[in-house]
């Protein structure tokens, strides 16, 4: 279990773009646009084509990489309104 915590921390600090920093204002339109752009790029990398955010989430759920606790599309961060 200790190793899993390390890997999650490593992934967050080494591989997640700074646009997802919790110190940024989640209601700022520029922050939201940057986050949508980063997720759109991730979708292209993972699925090889432009995708909607719900398709990207479905991909990760199918891979069993996310738990239902990780997926809260209505959380502070602007909430998910569909598409990228």
Per-residue pLDDT of the chain in tens (84 residues, 90 and over written 9): 567 677 767 766 777 788 888 899 999 999 999 999 998 988 898 889 998 988 988 888 888 766 655 555 544 444 444 444
Nearest to 39 by CA among 9, 78, 84, 72: 84
6 domain residue, yes or no: yes
pTM value? Answer: 0.58
Report the distance separating Cα 36 and Cα 33, nearest Å.
5
Domain range for 29 is 2-62
Q: What is the CA radius of gyration of the chain?
A: 13
Please count the structural domains in the chain. 1
67 domain residue, yes or no: no
Report the distance separating Cα 27 and Cα 78, nearest Å.
6
């Amino acid at each position: 279990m200790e190793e899993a915590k390390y890997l999650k921390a490593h992934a967050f600090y080494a591989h997640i773009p700074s646009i997802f920093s919790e110190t940024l204002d989640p209601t700022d339109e520029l922050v939201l646009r940057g986050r949508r752009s980063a997720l759109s790029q991730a979708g292209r990398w993972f699925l090889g084509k432009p995708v909607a955010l719900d398709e990207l989430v479905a991909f990760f759920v199918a891979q069993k990489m996310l738990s239902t606790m990780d997926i809260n599309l209505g959380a502070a961060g602007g909430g998910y309104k569909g598409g990228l």
